[in-house]
Homo-oligomer: A and B are copies of this chain.
Amino acid sequence: MSASIAQEQSDLHLEQIMNALDNGALYDARGHLHGLYPAEIALLLSSLPIDYRNQIWSIISPEMMGAVLVILQGEVRTGLIEQATAQHLIDATNELDISDLAVLVGDFPAIVRDKVLEKKGDSRLETALSYDGRTAAGVMDLDVLTIQADLSVEAVLQFLRGQPKIATNMDSLIVVDEGDSYRGMVHISTLLTSDTHLVVSDIMALDKAIALNMPVTDVALLFEQHNILSAAVVDEQGLVKGRVSIDDVLDIVRDEAEHVVLSSAGLDEEHDLFSPILVSARRRAVWLAVNLFTAFLASWVIGLFEATIAEIVALAVLMPIVASMGGIAGSQTLTLVIRGLALHQISASNSMKFLGKELAIGAVNGIVWSAVVATLAGLWFSNPGLGMMLGGAMIINLCCASLAGVLIPLFLQKKGIDPALAGGVLLTTVTDVIGFMSFLGLATIFLTN
């Protein structure tokens, strides 16, 4: 995984711009922005420390501002909106389509938002503002091209030729009946290759439409499983309200993946890489506090065996091994289950078979590695009994780790708690507590007087 050409290119952009700003050469910096796509500028801005970022923001044209703000997310976006004047924000919305506007305007200050709403005068925009971003409604395009099912292919082609430029991500047209109810989809390549005398309803595909409130993760799954490029979104009456296309799905998949990775470390994908130090410190502190609680719990368990440790200090030297190996083994199982749940690979019906398999793996590795650590520890401290206690505790902890790795995420999912967020902390609590308790407990029973 050495640096790719794309990596080198974006590194170079960043370096040139930071150098230009360090030298106060704002004009040079503007030159380096020339010809970049909105997404490239968005990446640049999110990679810049805030003082650099605001300087660059001040030299970007309003049209580009709009395109860039739509791509950016979370704090970086709201931070840049705060930096822009009301007039710039209003100008930035000029070129945006209604769906992008809906995404953006929600983050505008109320007074600017009202002005934009008034200027556009499109009632769909106000409706769109109320949609939940985690549903199909929140990600769909509102500008859709629908055709009547009873038209001939020839009539459709004629109609299209009169249209201004169709969106280039428009691979299919949505077919409706006279009442604007959804009927099916016609891929435009089908229009090109079909007999022009046929009627739309003869050539349309009967793809199912998506409900407004379908969760975005289900939308993504549907696209991947049914291999589709776009789908109509309908309300409860079956009326067409919008359209989701595969480029929206790509964003969903990317966001979901980020969420899983970041939340496992108690982080949030909405946060700015360069947010102010005290803001970041306060956010991280929450996660540290949760962990501190579990760390003190583990300490309390150790504290129960203070007398034993005073008698055999080697226990203190060896005890982190049991806890650590349990944590590693458990997190492997946990990771598989969290991924299996996300991909819908693991569910109630196969989870017990999976648990059985994981327990067996835990037992096998517990026995193998306990033999290794028992021997090593026995030799190190010239105390075979100590080695045996360590080995016994390892077997117990690795089996418990497998159990916890399967059951914790299943339990969290059932309770509606994100397993990617809370799973790791709970698992470590279990493996620490059981690791210390089993090792020190066994030693207390068998080794002390």
Contact = CB atoms under 8 A, between A and B. Distances in A.
A260 B262 contact: no
B192 A161 contact: yes
Given A277-B361, A328-B288, A321 B299 contact: yes
Given A160-B192, A306-B313, A284 B350 contact: no
A269 B447 CA distance: 44
Interface string A302-320: 1100100110011111111
Q: What is the interface of chain A mostly: helix, strand, loop, or mixed?
A: helix
15 contacts: A2-B413, A4-B218, A43-B343, A49-B350, A229-B247, A249-B250, A253-B257, A258-B339, A261-B335, A265-B335, A267-B336, A278-B364, A295-B320, A295-B324, A309-B309
A238 interface: no
A243 B28 CA distance: 37
Interface of A: 1-7, 10-11, 14-15, 18, 37, 39-40, 43, 46-49, 157, 160-161, 163-171, 187-193, 214-215, 217-218, 221-227, 229, 246-247, 249-250, 253-254, 256-258, 260-262, 264-267, 273-274, 277-278, 280-281, 284-285, 287-289, 291-292, 294-296, 298-299, 302-303, 306, 309-310, 313-321, 323-325, 328-329, 331-332, 334-336, 338-340, 343-350, 353-354, 357, 360-361, 364-365, 368-369, 372-373, 376, 380, 413, 416-419, 432
Given A257-B253, A361-B284, A295 B345 contact: no
Nearest to A159: B192
